[in-house]
């Protein structure tokens, strides 16, 4: 009887140790979105900081009409070649591509983060924008997403 109890106890301990492997993989911690300007002393320029500084370098290969394979336009309908086309939004994002003053609700900002609400993180397949680069876009949105 003692052997049976010892065997059951050993089986129980072994099986509970295996349950850890069945738990969810959580991945990296995701920072909470805060709709605040990270540097109120600095004004973000759409043309210099956002378009030329980031979108042209990181997104143009899929989201401009001149791209060899403009899959971001053909599939998502989002043209990032200028202010007006960006603000027109895409098939899924629509007017929410940029919500003035609120990067947390802006699809453009959400899709650059680690956990977009739909589809893949952008740029598809990486390299992804650094946190400081994402913050430039978030700050531009917080500042009113002006065409400046």
CB 27 within 8 A of CB 110: no
**Which tokens in the block code for residue 100?**
């003035």
Assign 118 a pLDDT band (cuts: 50, 70, 90). Answer: very high
Mean pLDDT across 34-61 = 96
CB 107 within 8 A of CB 92: yes
Mean pLDDT across 72-88 = 97
Domain layout of the chain by residue ranges:
33-142
CB 53 within 8 A of CB 63: no
pTM: 0.79
């Amino acid at each position: 009887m003692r052997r049976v109890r010892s065997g059951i106890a050993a089986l129980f301990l072994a099986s509970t140790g295996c349950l850890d492997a069945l738990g969810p993989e959580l991945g990296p911690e995701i920072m909470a979105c805060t709709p605040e300007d990270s540097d109120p002393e600095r004004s973000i320029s759409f043309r210099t900081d956002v378009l030329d500084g980031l979108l042209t370098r990181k997104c143009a290969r899929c989201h401009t009409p001149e791209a060899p394979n403009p899959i971001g336009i053909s599939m998502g309908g989002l043209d990032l070649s200028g202010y007006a086309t960006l603000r027109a939004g895409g098939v899924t994002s629509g007017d929410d591509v940029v919500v003035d003053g609120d990067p947390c609700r802006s699809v453009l900002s959400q899709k650059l983060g680690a956990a977009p609400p739909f589809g893949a993180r952008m740029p598809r397949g990486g390299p992804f924008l650094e946190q400081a680069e994402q913050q430039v876009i978030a700050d531009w949105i917080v500042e009113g997403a002006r065409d400046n």
